[in-house]
Structure 1
Amino acid sequence: MSRNVMSTNAGIAAEIAKGWKPNQYLTNMSQAYFAQPGDWVAPSIFPICPVATSSGFYYTFDKGDLARDNVARKPAFGKVNPAIMGTGENQYGCKVDQVIVGIDQIAALNYQRSHAPGVQDPRRAKVRFANEQMSLHLDILFAKGFFHSGVWGDEWQGTDSAPSGKKFLKFNDANFDPVHFFDERRRDIKRRGRRQPNRLALGYDAYLALKEHPDIVERVKYTGSTANPAIVTQQVLAQVLGFEQVKVLESTYNVAKPGEEADMQFICDSNAALMCYATNTPQVDEPSAGYIFTWDMLGNGSYTAMDQYEGENGTHSEFIEGLMSTDMRKTADDLATYFTDCV
């Protein structure tokens, strides 16, 4: 029934007779724990690389040949041997993931008749839910593919005392020297991978430890004023440590099973960190520690696809479907260093 009919006494009486209750739903608020868009992790660390087919190959050029001095003195009346420029190939394979959420068309009438702006269209809410599921799943795939022990060849572990080998004092230790430590690790990557690492991804507790470290605070405390006090933010930390970007991995998810009390956890290990070099967008003749290959399976220009369809006759239901096809691929192991037990 339209709003004009509802506004008449006869219309209101008719709706009450059908079971409608005046002011059943508030029109100016609702509760929904959707994540903040900036919390999502995956696309901010490694670039999205769209691909035309679900699987295929990409070229790799031999780093040793590119970095070797192949120039030699030309012999009289002769020539030098041709330089070798080795090439190889690697493969990607995108897998399709799916989510489906249902809409009870009869139950939806209560929302529609209440004229509450936030919930009057259940379809809109369910589409947002499905989209959020896509982002949540992408971050989980990122954590499984890139952000755990055993993925990267260069891995360091925090310790409480006497670090040796690939050990370091934990970030919350006052004797830990964060600027010197990350300078040394950047030097390692530059030497072996020919690129200066530009990104530092920090688990939430690792970030808090660095943010509150006395050495970091000491370096910024005189940069503020009464009106604008010095605060250690992600941008400030990036400047102090020498990175283009510091990203805090703060997306969360519920690890409990359906029917159990929610158990909210950080998707990425809050005590870990990843330092790497990555391009902002896919590049030709440029390395990147990782890529997120995405397949546009339906040809709609996006690696996520949404669809809506009716349920079976008599069910008075419809469904929202979300599809996503990705492959989290480590493409240059020598351009990243992973840190565990940072706190």
Structure 2
Amino acid sequence: MRNMNSNAAIMAAIAKGWKPNRYLSNMSMAFFNNNADYVATKIFPICPVQNSTGFYYEFLKGDLARDNVQRKPAFGKVQPAKRGHTDSTYKCDVDQVITGIDSINALDYTRSGVPASIDPRRSSVRFINDQMLLHLDLTFAEKFFKTGVWQNEFTGVDSTPGSNQMLKFTDANFDPIAFFDARKREIRLEGRRTPNKLCLGYDTFLALKKHPDILERVKYGGSTPNPAIVNEKVIAELLGFDEVTVLMATYNKAEEGQPDDMDFICESDGALMCYVTNSPQIDEPSAGYIFTWDMLGNGSYMATDQFEGEPGTHSEFVEGLMSTDMRKTCDDLACYMSKCV
């Protein structure tokens, strides 16, 4: 019997018009988002909680900021100072995503040694993970990064800005240094903290990146081998923030069966400046928190699991579970800017 897999047989088949159809093992086209582009868990601190619902204390700012020290009367004492508090609630709901695997069809992949990129179990886990991160960013955009969320809000206009308005960042007359310094002063006055983070929609970042005032401040710092570059770090240093984050993750807005409609998850012409803590703190305010509940008790609020389908279906399923509550916790520590470009 002739060996059809010998080099001679393969060369003869190619000469007759046959084309090899083996899949490449070192590349594939998969439009997963870069995990580094997802930002929901990078902006506001994550606060693990033991119960899915509960309360947290809010100490009254007015009592803490008031001078309660009085002159002691002779042979007497002053009245005790009030240090009031209220409470707020959180509620972590459980979200789920499931994808299926046909166990019989999967046998062809496992037995033929196909590249790992198309292995149904591996790609299913990657799909589930990407879906959960995508959902977190969409929730972040809905909870924090849009108009109507924060009390302190500015809207970009083309000329003559009025109350709670600003010139668009694309206007050469817009003064980014003065504008952000003024907003930081307001937040410092009301919230007793200076904003340390600035989150920029993608088009807002591009507008600041090429604004004449910013370019003027960096152009003399470059040379031929090391040209001046405006990036997130440079903008953070110029505007006085610890961190500048560009929100560049994208998603498909179209329903299944409809043509793809790609867009940025967060408003591309928006911006959010805020003060947040790096981790949950007992005696420190923060503009927002992400409360997370470990629903399975395995130490993670984002978990994946695999289970078999009903008998006779020869199917397997991979699921993703997560339980969070993204909560605005202090209006005084944030300012949202819309229509920046």
Smaller-chain TM-score bracket: over 0.9
Counterparts of 2:113 and 2:225, CA distance in 1: 45
The one-letter amino acid paired with 1:35 is N
- Asked if structure 2 preserves the Cα contact closer than 8 Å seen for 1:25 and 1:114, the reply is no
Query: Residues 23, 115 of structure 1: CA spacing in aligned structure 2 closer, same or farther, 3 A cutoff?
Result: farther
> Residue 222 of structure 1 aligns to a residue in which SS?
helix
Counterparts of 2:28 and 2:110, CA distance in 1: 15
Q: Residue by residue, what CA displacement relative to the aligned partner does 1:221-247 show, whole Å, maximum 9, x if unpaired?
A: 111222211100001100000000111
> Residue 185 of structure 1 aligns to a residue in which SS?
helix
1:223 aligned residue? 221
- Equivalent runs, 1:241-320 vs 2, <5 Å: 241-320=239-318
Q: 1:195 aligns with which of 169, 185, 193?
A: 193
Query: Residues 113, 261 of structure 1: CA spacing in aligned structure 2 closer, same or farther, 3 A cutoff?
Result: farther
Q: Residue by residue, what CA displacement relative to the aligned partner does 1:58-86 show, whole Å, maximum 9, x if unpaired?
A: 01111000000000111111111101101
Counterparts of 1:29 and 1:252, CA distance in 2: 22
- Worse overlay, 22-31 or 214-223: 22-31
2:14 aligned residue? none
Q: 2:123 aligns with which of 118, 122, 125?
A: 125
1:339 aligned residue? 337
Counterparts of 1:102 and 1:22, CA distance in 2: 30
1:78 aligned residue? 76
- Asked if structure 1 preserves the Cα contact closer than 8 Å seen for 2:27 and 2:117, the reply is no
Measured on the aligned residues, the alpha-carbon RMSD in Å equals 1.6
Unaligned runs of 5+ in 1: 1-6, 10-20
Deviation at 1:112, TM superposition (A): 2.5
Q: Residue by residue, what CA displacement relative to the aligned partner does 1:73-132 show, whole Å, maximum 9, x if unpaired?
A: 111111111011011111000111100000112222333244233335321110110011
Number of corresponding residues: 326
The one-letter amino acid paired with 1:253 is Y
> TM-score of the superposition, structure 2-length normalised?
0.93
Q: Which runs of 4+ in 1 moved over 3 A?
A: none
Q: What percentage of residue pairs aligned between the two structures are identical?
A: 65
2:55 aligned residue? 57
1:169 aligned residue? 167
The one-letter amino acid paired with 1:104 is D
- Asked if structure 2 preserves the Cα contact closer than 8 Å seen for 1:252 and 1:267, the reply is yes
Q: Residue by residue, what CA displacement relative to the aligned partner does 1:125-160 show, whole Å, maximum 9, x if unpaired?
A: 101100110000000110111111111001111000
Deviation at 1:321, TM superposition (A): 0.5
Pair 1:45 & 2:46 matched: no
The one-letter amino acid paired with 2:53 is S
> Residue 29 of structure 2 aligns to a residue in which SS?
coil
1:3 aligned residue? none
> Residue 134 of structure 1 aligns to a residue in which SS?
helix
2:101 aligned residue? 103
Counterparts of 1:250 and 1:131, CA distance in 2: 18
Counterparts of 2:253 and 2:319, CA distance in 1: 22
Counterparts of 2:94 and 2:189, CA distance in 1: 38
The one-letter amino acid paired with 2:272 is L
- Asked if structure 2 preserves the Cα contact closer than 8 Å seen for 1:113 and 1:120, the reply is no
Counterparts of 2:59 and 2:290, CA distance in 1: 20
Deviation at 1:23, TM superposition (A): 4.9
The one-letter amino acid paired with 1:191 is L
Q: Residue by residue, what CA displacement relative to the aligned partner does 1:16-45 show, whole Å, maximum 9, x if unpaired?
A: xxxxx9753221211111111110011111
Counterparts of 1:8 and 1:295, CA distance in 2: 58
Deviation at 1:179, TM superposition (A): 0.5
Counterparts of 2:227 and 2:109, CA distance in 1: 47
- Worse overlay, 211-220 or 104-113: 104-113
Q: Residue by residue, what CA displacement relative to the aligned partner does 1:151-192 show, whole Å, maximum 9, x if unpaired?
A: 100111100000111110000000000001000000000000
- Asked if structure 2 preserves the Cα contact closer than 8 Å seen for 1:30 and 1:118, the reply is no
Unaligned runs of 5+ in 2: 8-18
Counterparts of 2:100 and 2:325, CA distance in 1: 28
Q: 2:212 aligns with which of 202, 211, 214?
A: 214
- Equivalent runs, 1:82-161 vs 2, <5 Å: 82-119=80-117, 121-161=119-159
> TM-score of the superposition, structure 1-length normalised?
0.92
- Asked if structure 2 preserves the Cα contact closer than 8 Å seen for 1:278 and 1:287, the reply is yes
